[in-house]
Amino acid sequence: MKKSELIEALAAKADVSKVAAAKSIDALVDIITTTLAKGDDVALVGFGTFKPVKRAARTGKNPQTGEALKIAATTLAKFSAGATFKAAVAGKKAPAKAAAKKPVAKKK
């Protein structure tokens, strides 16, 4: 699915204009990008978590010449899928949420 198709799907699902859907998607991407750049996580319960991950400097190898080269340290964005999202993609039933315990009234 391309961004334009995502915008059309969001506009139809949320019953908003394509312009509003495009602004919403752009704003969401901008917020996630800015938050990760600051070093913070973005957690969308049930969907997944975006985390900045630091990769240490290391020595690599040029595949054409076999020459060793230095690869600089960097920070990457990592996405970990949530349980509900994983189940939906796998075509399985979403895991049941733990039932909230209701306080039991004590008899006198």
Are 16 and 57 in the same domain? Answer: no
Q: Is residue 12 part of a domain?
A: yes
Which residue carries 């080269």 as its tokens? Answer: 69
* Assigned domain for 103 exists: no
Least confident window among 26-30, 53-57, 94-98 = 94-98
Please indicate, yes or no, whether residues 35 and 52 belong to a single structural domain of this protein: no
34 and 4 belong to one structural domain: yes
C-beta of residue 82 within 8 angstroms of C-beta of residue 46 = yes
> Do residues 48 and 77 both lie within one domain?
yes
Helix (H, G, I), strand (E, B) or coil at 84: helix
Tally of domains in the chain = 2
Domain region containing 57: 41-94
Q: If you average pLDDT over every residue of the chain, what do you get?
A: 89
CATH number at 54 reads: 4.10.520.10
**Residues 7 and 17 occupy one common structural domain:** yes
What is the structure's pLDDT at 41?
Answer: 95
Same domain, 34 and 46: no
Whether residue 9 is found in the same domain as residue 34: yes
Asked whether the beta carbons of 75 and 55 are under 8 A apart, the reply is yes
Same-domain status, 75 and 62? yes
Mean pLDDT of 77-95: 88
Mean pLDDT across the stretch 40-64? 94
**Is 22 domain-assigned?**
yes
Element (H, E) at 30: helix 18-37
